[in-house]
């Protein structure tokens, strides 16, 4: 369920959860009675997993990828080696060291149960957590929230002008926030609003919750609240929207009484043309992702050690380059887990190979790992959710995708 947001100062904020939005990047937050943090980064458009985590050690990689093939590690514009077989795209350099640190876990040849090629249906299925597009009107993260301690005490909040993503919609109350240029309210304005709605239980409660949440966010963000989304006073370039939102998210998640669940959306991954190898459209999207993850880690501070970030997309892309220097809608791709609570430093998943007889429908990287199994493994071992509830409530009818073990530090 979502409810109205209250404009106060330059803040639009709901009570139990926060959604930040700007351009193609959006963020949603929800409070939970736990010190563990979980962030879901949804890459809209279909990220090319073979570009993000290049299998340069596969004998068929360079031939199949053609102009999109990355140079080998150590060469000019080369990929960043992980384990002698896989390597990160060079634009992901800011998080490369996380792998050696053990705080980054790529998962390859991963996919949802969706096998068609519609962005809208694939994203709906990814977010609703079922086996079919449009099979549920709520999201798997909202159902996750309902299982956390204190779920029955969520405060009401709603977005004005910004939608909470489907993955976080449902009966657990969430709300939204965005950097705003709305002028600060005049002194006494909120007192007048309270007086107007004092006889209306729904609106008076929403107002009280919104003000309380506003105070909480103001405490977390401090002076940053006044400048978010605006050009720096010193004339420096405006920070990327995704970086601004990730910074705000981390600060709010880091608060002792702040939110614990976050969703960050990043667009720009539909690379049909001009995808490029080390440079191009993919590189731009990957740079935004890496910079956002670094900003999130920095602003989390010590809370990073109790955080798991899951990065996923609706589907992968075709294995071979198309006629316009890009890739088309595909099937399997790559996902990431990151954070201080992650047992990383390896590439998870079963590699199917890129030989012609190994491709799915003779065009895509074949799926070998169910994305639900990855997410369920993280939720079970990090947020301590029971497998039975993950199978039936969070990801409905998903016992065929048992949680992956060993993803989280013990």
Mean pLDDT of the chain: 84
pLDDT in tens, 70-83: 999 999 999 999 99
What local confidence, expressed as pLDDT, does residue 194 receive?
Answer: 75
Q: How many C-beta atoms surround the C-beta of residue 218 within 10 A?
A: 18
SS3 92: helix
What local confidence, expressed as pLDDT, does residue 237 receive?
Answer: 53
Full-model pTM: 0.86
In this structure, what DSSP letter does residue 393 have?
I
Are β-strands 80-81 and 307-313 bridged in parallel, bridged antiparallel, or unpaired?
Answer: unpaired
pLDDT in tens, 175-223: 465 555 555 666 677 677 777 777 777 767 666 656 555 555 555 555 5
Residue 234: band (very low, low, confident or very high) from pLDDT cuts 50, 70, 90:
low
* Inter-helix orientation angle 189-197/201-221, to 10°: 150
Question: So where are the chain's domains?
Answer: 6-394
pLDDT in tens, 312-334: 999 999 999 999 999 999 999 99
Helix (H) or strand (E) holding 42, with range, is strand 37-43
Longest distance between any two alpha carbons in the chain, whole Å: 72
What local confidence, expressed as pLDDT, does residue 151 receive?
Answer: 57
The average pLDDT across 22-51 equals: 81
What local confidence, expressed as pLDDT, does residue 161 receive?
Answer: 27
What local confidence, expressed as pLDDT, does residue 24 receive?
Answer: 57
Cβ-based burial of 121 (10 A; exposed 0-12, middle 13-18, buried ≥19): middle
What local confidence, expressed as pLDDT, does residue 246 receive?
Answer: 87
What local confidence, expressed as pLDDT, does residue 245 receive?
Answer: 84
Q: How far apart are CA 95 and CA 107, in angstroms?
A: 15
Token look-up 């102009």 returns 67
SS3 247: helix
Q: How far apart are CA 61 and CA 150, in angstroms?
A: 49
Q: Which residue has the higher pLDDT, 202 or 86?
A: 86
What local confidence, expressed as pLDDT, does residue 157 receive?
Answer: 21
Measure Cα distances from 231 to 106, 127, 226, 227, 237 in Å. Answer: 35, 33, 11, 8, 7
What local confidence, expressed as pLDDT, does residue 68 receive?
Answer: 98
pLDDT in tens, 132-190: 999 999 999 989 988 887 655 543 222 222 578 999 899 887 646 555 555 566 667 76
| DSSP class per residue in 180-191 | --PPPPPTTHHH
- pLDDT of residue 101 exceeding 50: yes
Residue 12: band (very low, low, confident or very high) from pLDDT cuts 50, 70, 90:
very low
Q: How far apart are CA 47 and CA 313, in angstroms?
A: 6
Is residue 207 a contact partner of residue 185, using CB atoms and an 8 Å limit? no
């Amino acid at each position: 369920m979502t409810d109205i947001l209250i404009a106060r100062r330059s803040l639009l904020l709901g009570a139990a959860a926060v959604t930040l939005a700007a351009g193609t990047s959006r963020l949603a937050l929800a409070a939970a009675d736990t010190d563990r943090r979980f962030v879901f980064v949804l890459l809209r458009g279909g990220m090319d997993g073979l570009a993000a985590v290049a299998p340069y050690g596969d004998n068929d990689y360079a031939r199949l990828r053609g102009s999109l093939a990355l140079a080998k590690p150590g060469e000019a514009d080369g990929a960043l080696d992980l384990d002698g077989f896989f390597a990160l795209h060079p634009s992901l350099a800011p998080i490369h060291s996380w792998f050696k640190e053990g705080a980054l876990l790529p998962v390859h040849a991963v996919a949802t149960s969706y096998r068609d090629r519609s962005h809208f249906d694939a994203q709906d299925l990814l977010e609703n957590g079922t086996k079919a597009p449009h099979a549920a009107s709520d999201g798997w993260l909202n159902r996750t929230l309902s299982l956390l301690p204190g779920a029955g005490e969520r405060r009401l909040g709603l977005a004005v002008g910004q939608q909470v993503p489907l993955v976080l919609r449902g009966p657990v109350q969430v709300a939204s926030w965005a950097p705003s240029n709305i002028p600060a309210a005049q002194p006494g304005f909120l007192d007048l609003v309270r007086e107007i709605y004092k006889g209306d239980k729904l609106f008076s409660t929403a107002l009280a919750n919104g003000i309380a949440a506003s105070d909480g966010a103001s405490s977390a963000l401090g002076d940053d609240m006044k400048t978010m989304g605006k050009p720096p006073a010193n004339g420096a370039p405006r920070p990327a929207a995704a970086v601004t939102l990730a910074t705000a998210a981390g600060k709010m998640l880091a608060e002792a009484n702040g939110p614990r669940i976050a969703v960050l959306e990043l667009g720009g991954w539909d690379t049909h043309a001009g995808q490029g190898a080390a440079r191009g459209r993919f590189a731009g999207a990957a740079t935004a992702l890496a910079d956002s993850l670094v900003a999130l880690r920095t602003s989390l501070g010590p809370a990073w050690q109790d955080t798991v970030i899951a990065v996923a997309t609706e589907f992968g892309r075709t294995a071979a380059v198309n006629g316009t220097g890009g890739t088309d809608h595909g099937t399997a791709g790559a996902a990431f887990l990151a954070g201080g609570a992650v047992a990383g430093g390896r590439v998870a998943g079963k590699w199917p190979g890129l030989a012609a007889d190994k491709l799915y429908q003779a065009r895509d990287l074949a799926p070998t790992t169910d994305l639900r199994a990855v997410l369920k493994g993280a939720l079970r071992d990090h947020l301590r959710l029971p497998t039975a509830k993950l199978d039936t409530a969070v990801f409905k009818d998903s016992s065929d995708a048992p949680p992956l073990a060993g993803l989280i530090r013990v």
